[in-house]
Amino acid sequence: MKQVKTVNAIDNVAKSLANTKPVTNALALSDYSKELVVKYAKVFNSENDTKALLADSLFGDGFRAYHIVGATDEDKSLVALRNQIIQLVVSSNPDDAKLYNAEPKTLSLQMQAVQTVLKTKTVPTIIGNIKKALKTREENIGKVGKAKPKTKEQMVLQSVKQAIKYLKECKNGYEGFTKDLEALNNLAVLKQVK
C-alpha cells in the first residue's frame, strides 16, 4: 500500500520565506514624494480659506451665484465673464493655458485627450466650485456660527421662500408662471411660521 504525503502549509511558507531576501525599506518615500505630500497638505488646508476669500471678494464686487453661467447661456455679458474666469483659471499654469487655447488639430492624440479633460472636467469643476462657494456666501449673509436646528415647519418656510426666490430669478417664464408665484406668495406658512 502506498503512503500519501500530506502537505503542511506552515512548512511550505517557512521554506519559501527562508529562500527569499529580507525586504528593507521597500516603501520608503523619495525626497520628491515627501515634498509633494507637504505641498498637497498646504494646498488642502488653504483651499477652503482661499475659496471663502474668493467668494467674499466676488460677493463684495456685486457678483451672485446666478452670474456664473454655462457656456451656452444667451446672456453674452455673463458668457464673457465665464470666459474671463476660465482664462484666469488656466493662467495659473502656463502649460494648461497653452493647451486649453490650442487648436485640437495641432495636438497629438494624447494631448487632445488631456485638453478634453481640461475643458470638460477640470475647468468646469473649478468654476462649479466657485459658484457653490458664492452661493454658500449668499446664503450665510448675517449668520454667525451654526444656526439652531430647524423645525419641519421652518424647513417648509425656507423651501417656499427659496422657491419664490428662484421663480423671481427666472429669465424665461412659462405658462402659469404668475399663478405659481401668486400661489406660493399666498401660502399660510409665510404668515404663520417664524
Mean pLDDT for all residues in the chain:
79
State how far Cα 65 lies from the chain centre. Answer: 14
Mean of the pLDDT values across residues 2-21?
60
Mean of the pLDDT values across residues 145-170?
77
Burial of 37 (0-12, 13-18, 19+ CB in 10 A): exposed
Amino acid at 31: D
Grid cell listed for 29:
518615500
- pLDDT value at 97 more than 90: no
- pLDDT value at 23 more than 70: no
Grid cell listed for 17:
520565506
Grid cell listed for 153:
415647519
Residue 114, CA atoms < 13 Å, CB-side half-sphere: 13
Q: At what angle do helices 94-101 and 109-117 cross, to 10 degrees?
A: 100
- pLDDT value at 113 more than 80: yes
Tell me the C-alpha distance between 139 and 122, whole Å.
26
Tell me the C-alpha distance between 137 and 133, whole Å.
6
pLDDT at 102: 92
Tell me the C-alpha distance between 158 and 151, whole Å.
11
Mean of the pLDDT values across residues 84-106?
88
Residue located via cell numbers 424647513: 155
Residue located via cell numbers 405658462: 175
> Could you tell me the CA-to-CA distances from 146 to 125, 139, 140, 143, 149 in Å, in that order?
27, 13, 10, 8, 9
Q: Which residue has the higher pLDDT, 39 or 78?
A: 78
pLDDT at 106: 93
- pLDDT value at 174 more than 60: yes
Entry pTM: 0.52
Q: Which residue has the higher pLDDT, 98 or 172?
A: 98
Residue located via cell numbers 455673463: 78
Read off the pLDDT band of 63 (50, 70, 90): confident
Q: Which residue has the higher pLDDT, 149 or 62?
A: 62
79 neighbors 69 (Cβ within 8 angstroms):
yes
Mean of the pLDDT values across residues 156-168?
84
Mean of the pLDDT values across residues 181-188?
86
**SS3 category, 70:** coil
